Every structure is written in C-alpha cells, then in structure tokens.
Chain A
C-alpha cells in the first residue's frame, strides 16, 4: 500500500546526505526521485486509467443497465396493457359491427316493409276473402296444395324487386308472407309455404322483429342469419304480413375483416357467437373473418358460460362477488370481472366480462337486441411476449450507449492519463537532472493546473539549486576565508608554542577575531605568569644561595643541641630515679608510723570507749539505785493503801451483816435485800483476800529491791575503781598517741617533700624529653628543610632553565 507520503518525501528511509561523501547530493536526489517517479508511473499506468474505467464504467453502465431494464419493464407493461385495451377495443368494435350488421339488415327489411307496392299487395291479399278462407285450412293441406309454387299468388313485380335485392349481394334470400303466414313473394322458392308455425314468424308478428337462430347453410356454404320483421299498415298499424331475410354471416365477415382483422395480433381471435344456436357466426383473426368455422374457442364449457351470461344480462340482476367466485369455480375461470354498459338512447344494457382460461385472456360482450355475444381472446403467452422485441431494441440501445460510454470514458481516461503520462515523462526528465523542461498545458483544467504547478516547481527547484550553488560557493569562500584566517592565526601565534610570548594574533578576520582575542588573552596571561615565575625563581635562587650556608650551620647546630640535651636528659633521669627511691623509702616509713599511730589511736579510742561505758554504767547504777529507792517508797505507799482497802473490806463486811439483820427484820419485803447483803458480804471477803495477796506480793518486791540495792552498792564501788584505772591508762595512751602523731606528721612532711621532688623531677624529665623530642624533630626537620632547600634549588634551577625558553620582552 503506497501512501501519498511516498510521493511527498523523496524516500521513505531518510538518508542523511553527507556533503563530504563522494556521492553528490544531485546523484542521491536523482536516485530517490527516480524511485518515486517509477512509483508514480506505475500508479498512473496501472491504475489511473484502469481505476477510472473501474470506477466510472460501473457508475455509467449500471444506471444505464438499470434504466434500460426499468424502461423495458415499463414499456413492456405499457405494451401489455395496450394489448389488453386493444383486445377490449377490438371486441367493442366487433360487437358494434355485429350490432350494425343487424341494424343494417333491419333497415333493408324496413325499406321493403315501407314499400307501398308491398303494402298495397298485402292489403289486397289480406282483404281477399279467398285468403281468409285459406287461413282455416290445415297447414299440411295447404303445403300440399301450394307445393309447386309455394306462393299464394305470384306478383312478378314484387318478386323481381326481391330478386334485385338479393342481387345486391347483401342477403341470401328474402320472402314476404301475409298476415296468415302464407308466402306472398320471394326472391327464390322457400321450402315451406305456410310460415306461421315457425317461431321467428310468431315472434315477428308479436314483437315486430325477430332474429332467428343462425344456421349453417350447406348451399350457401355459410352461416345464415334469419331476420324477420312485421309489415305494418302505416295508417292503422295493423300487421299486414311478415318479411324475412336470410342474411349471410359472410356479409359481417367483410366488415369484420375490413375494420377489425387488421388490428388483431397473432393469437388474437374474435368470435361472434349465437348463444341459442351454440355456433359461431364469425371467427375473426389476423388473416380475416371466416364464417365456416364451426368450433367455439373455449369449447362447450365456454358456451355454457356464455348462455349463463346472456341469461344474466336479460334477468337484469346485478352480479355480486360471491356469484363471481361461484362462476369462476364452476367454469374453471380466473380473474373474472364484470362491467355493465347502458346505452343512453335505447336503455339497452351490455354486459362486459373479462376472465382468463386455459392460458388465454377472454373479453366477452353481449350484443344488444340479440342473444349473440362477441368473444375476444388472446394467448397470455403473446401478452407475455409483448415488448420482447423491445427487449432486443433496449438491449441494443443499452449496448450501443454502453459502448459509447465505454469509448467515451476510455477516451476521457486517455485524455486524463495521457497528459499525466506526459507530465510523468517530464518529471522523469527533471529527476534525471534536466531542469530545462516545460510541461505542456494540456488535458483537463486540473491537469493543466498540475502541469502549471509542475512547471512552477521545476522553476523553484532550478532557482533553489542555483541558490544552493551560490550558497555552497559562498560557504566554500567562507571556508577558505576561515582556513586562511586559521593559517594566519597559526602563523601569528605558533611562536608561542616555542615560548615566544611576544607574539600577537591580529584581529583582522571577522570569523576568527574572537578566537584571536582569546589566544591573545591566553598568551598575555601566560606572559604575565612566565614573567612572575621568572622573577620568583630568580628570587628563590638568590635567597637559596644566600641562605643555604646558614641553614646548613643551623642544622648542624641543632643536631649538636640534640646530643647535649640527650646527655642532660640521661643525668636528669638518673637523679629522678634516686629521688624516686628516697620517696619510696619515706613513703614506707610514713606508712609504718602511720600504722603505729593508727594502732595507738585505736587503743586510745578503745580506752575512751571503756571510760565512757564505765561512766555510763556508773550513771546507770546511780539511776537504778534512785529508782530502787523510789520503788521502796512506792511499795510502802501501796502497803498503806492496802491497809485502807482492808479496813474498807472489814467495814463492808460489817455493813453486810447489819444489812442482813435489817433484812430479816423487814421480813418478806427484805428478802431481796438479804441476797444483796450476802453478795456484798461475799465481795468484802473477796476484797480482803485480794488485799492479803497484794500484801504478800509487795512484801516480796520489797525483799528483792533490798537485795538489788545491796548488790548495786557493791557494783558501784567496783566501777569507781575500774574507772580510776582506765583514766591512768588513757593518760599514757594519749601521750603515746601525741608522740606517734608527731612522728607521723614528720614522716608525712618528708614523704610529701619527696613526692613533690619526684614530681618536679618527673616534670623536668618530661620537659627534657619534650625538648629532646622537639630538638630531634628540629634536627630531622632541619635535615628535611636542608633536603627540601636542596630540591627547591634543583627545581628553581630547572624552572629557570624552562622559563628561559619564554621570551617576554
């Protein structure tokens, strides 16, 4: 599937056109555009024309076909309905002809009936008594008697007149009877003489006219239609006689042939049929009319149907749809329809019927005044075939039109595609590099526009290419300018690479002046740096030269210092070691004296505690003695109280006895009181018992306290003795403690002194170590410095030699 993009872009894979590559831009362009042109040609060649044909042709041919088909169908329908209406028209015409034929013939009989010669003759005959006698004679007798002439009385004039009528050829025979039905005159002899027994005669006499059933006449070799009319007296209107004509159906043939036959189609046939006689009078088709045909189209079935129709028409009843259905079933008909026409002049009705049977379409019409019907029929196949010949016409027309359209479209397509093809060729030429191409402005407006656009495009491409060439030229020039400028720049500043910093890039080139300025700035800065380096290296070199000796000396000195310090440090270390020993000894002594002092202190403390406990004991004993005294006093008081209680108990007892005595005296009322008194007595006894016990306890207490008091006395004296001993011991201990404290303090001061001494010596040692360390560091750093200075000197020399390359003035 190619998209429009394929035409728009020179190629699908966008090649990056490298200007520096050997393949030129034009070449690449040619290749890509050739590709696309090929595609375009392919599309136009294969597709535009065929696509036009494939799209336009159906759009033209299909409607054409459809239109032809529809047209044909319409025409066919029209043709078919035309045929049907023609069939109807032909039927009506035939029916008309039949009617006219009968009327015409009655006109003839009218003429004869109105003929004064005939009227006079009949009057005379009817009024003749002889004739009146004959009317009473039986018919057979009369037939015999008049067998020869078959005429009542020969009137040559009338006979001749009748014969002349026959000679006109319109009628086969004509005869006249009187009012009794006897032959009066004839054109040629008849078979009977008396006619009054014939039904046609009776009808004519009664109704004025009669049309007899047609019969096939062998002599005439034709169907003969008999018409009879009553001859009436013009003055009275009485029936004078009857005239009968035998009309050949052939006469009708001529008219039908002339007026109907030519209009008929191949299978179209019209029959005038007498329903009573059941025979066809005339059969008309394309070839003409014929009265010799004996068979009815549609056969007996149709004849029966016709009879029914005629009777229906005479009965004047309307036909409903149900009856139509019955008729259809009965006679095996289809699509049966009826129509009634009424003549406005004589009110005579005509019944029209239409139906289908046995592949034929029938149209049927009654003929007024007679029991005849006209039946027109045509084969349905012919109707179906109607318009078939048109089909060919239409087909041919369609084919011709189609052919024309195809030709026209091909022509158009060619007209469309040819200019395009030309345009394509032109495009190919352009693609192959020839830009001096002009496309012709041919073809349709659009193609002209396209060609015009193409020409514009070519022109644009041309100008673009020119512009491009100019641009590339300009670019080349610019490149050259830049290259030249670069060469100049390189020339100007290449000295800087060799150390010439006096060079300067000129600022003449528009393209490179900025770069030149940048170089100038760099060189300028480089120059400054080089100058500074030169100066500082000079300084460094100089100062190095002047300082190197002193630095070396300094280094050596510092090394000597280190050695001396090292010695000092060793002696200090020895000293500090001896100090440390002293310190340790002093510390040991201090510790021993401390311990001794501690022990004395402990003894003194113990003594002090003992004294304190003895004192406490003394106090306690004193307190106890005091308390014992108090206890003695208290028990004495208790003895006194117990004596009082005893007294109270005695008195209470006495009271109780008194109370019981009093109670007895009181008798019965004092009985309760007696109990109380007894209880009080008991209580008093208990109290005295208790006091006795208390007395005993107190006596025990007093004895014990006495014992304790004596023991305490002895204890106290012992304590006093002990406390004296202790006090003397304490005095000794205090002295010892004072002494040991003094020793201790002495030792402590010694020890402290040695400690501070050793600390000091430690500090000195540390200090000296630090000094030695720092002097060692100094020595090594001065060594390093010396080394560095040496290296610096080397670097400075190197730098100097390098900087010497730069020319800065």
Chain B
C-alpha cells in the first residue's frame, strides 16, 4: 500500500487526515512542520505528500519548492490540502509544482479520490 506523508501544523487537522487515509488503507506518516517533513522524507521517501500550505517558518509551498530542487525528491507528487479556496491560490500552488489541490474542509472521499488520481 502507498506511503503517504501528511504535513499540517494543526494537530486536529493532522489527526483527521490521518484517520481518513488510515481508514482508506494507506500507510500514513505525519509531520507538523516543513523541517520535520524533510527529515521524514530523508528517512523514507513517501509515495505521496499531502501538505497544508499555511504553516509557520516553512510553508507547504516552500517545502514543495525545496523538494522540486532536489533530484531524489523531484518526482514525489505533492497534494496541497488547504482552506484557501480561491483560483489564484490554486493557480499559484500548481505553478510551484503541486500536483493536486484539495480544499479544506474535505471529506474522506475527496481526499482519497485525489490521491488515487495522483497515484494512478
């Protein structure tokens, strides 16, 4: 089964997303900030990264850019999961190399659908 790394600075959100994906049968690793995420990625390369965008210090897009600069992480599909729902936010996220965008609040189905489309 696929390994998913979920990054969110808010614990409750993180738990919710983790529950969604665990129920759907994914193996889930979590991180609460970009730095931690980078460590987790260096330990084990996930199949997909689901990240919040608005986080202190290192935002989701900062992380995305970092990963896209490194050759060993450039191919990990990144799914943005954010409460920002405007077109400009999505457009910018896609320009930064995000592969899919899920608007919070989201259902399990939403997230799983997107993950399937990304990993297909």
Chain A contacts to B: CB under 8 angstroms: 504, 506-508, 510, 513-514, 517-518, 520-521, 524
Contact = CB atoms under 8 A, between A and B. Distances in A.
22 contacts: A504-B57, A506-B56, A507-B54, A507-B55, A507-B59, A508-B56, A510-B54, A510-B83, A513-B54, A513-B84, A513-B89, A514-B84, A514-B86, A514-B88, A514-B93, A517-B53, A517-B61, A517-B92, A517-B96, A518-B92, A521-B96, A524-B62
B98 to A, nearest CB: 11
B65 interface: yes
A520 B54 contact: no
A507 B56 contact: yes
Contacts of A521: 61, 65, 96
A518 B89 CA distance: 11
A524 B64 CA distance: 14
Interface string B68-97: 000000000000000110101100110010
Interface in B43-68: 53-57, 59, 61-62, 65
A508 B52 CA distance: 12
Given A507-B53, A510-B54, A510-B83, 17 more contacts: A506-B56, A507-B54, A507-B55, A507-B59, A508-B54, A510-B84, A513-B54, A514-B84, A514-B88, A514-B92, A514-B93, A517-B61, A517-B96, A520-B59, A521-B61, A521-B65, A524-B62
A506 B89 CA distance: 16
A54 B86 CA distance: 61
A510 B104 CA distance: 12
Contacts of A520: 59, 62
B84 to A, nearest CB: 6
A517 B62 contact: yes
Contacts of B56: 506-508
Contacts of B61: 517, 521
Nearest to A518: B92
Contacts of A513: 53-54, 59, 84, 89
A510 B93 CA distance: 14
A693 to B, nearest CB: 130
Contacts of B62: 517, 520, 524
B93 to A, nearest CB: 8
B27 to A, nearest CB: 28
Contacts of B55: 507
Contacts of A518: 92
Max count, chain B CB within 10 A of own CB: residue among A504, A506, A514: A514
Max count, chain B CB within 10 A of own CB: residue among A508, A513, A524: A513
A514 B95 CA distance: 12
A192 B62 CA distance: 167
Contacts of A507: 53-56, 59
Contacts of B65: 521
A507 B52 CA distance: 11
A518 B96 CA distance: 10
Contacts of B53: 507, 513, 517
Contacts of B86: 514
Nearest to A521: B65
B103 to A, nearest CB: 12
Nearest to B84: A510
A332 B78 CA distance: 126
B114 to A, nearest CB: 20
Nearest to A517: B61
A397 to B, nearest CB: 80
Contacts of B83: 510
A488 to B, nearest CB: 13
Contacts of B92: 514, 517-518
B83 to A, nearest CB: 6
A529 to B, nearest CB: 15
Contacts of B84: 510, 513-514
A491 to B, nearest CB: 16
A514 B98 CA distance: 13
Nearest to B88: A514
A289 B57 CA distance: 139
A521 B62 CA distance: 8
A504 B62 CA distance: 11
A689 B86 CA distance: 147
A504 B58 CA distance: 10
Contacts of B57: 504
Contacts of A517: 53, 59, 61-62, 92, 96
A518 B59 CA distance: 11
A520 B61 CA distance: 10
Contacts of A510: 54, 83-84
A514 B96 CA distance: 11
A506 B58 CA distance: 9
A507 B57 CA distance: 9
A518 B84 CA distance: 15
Contacts of A504: 57
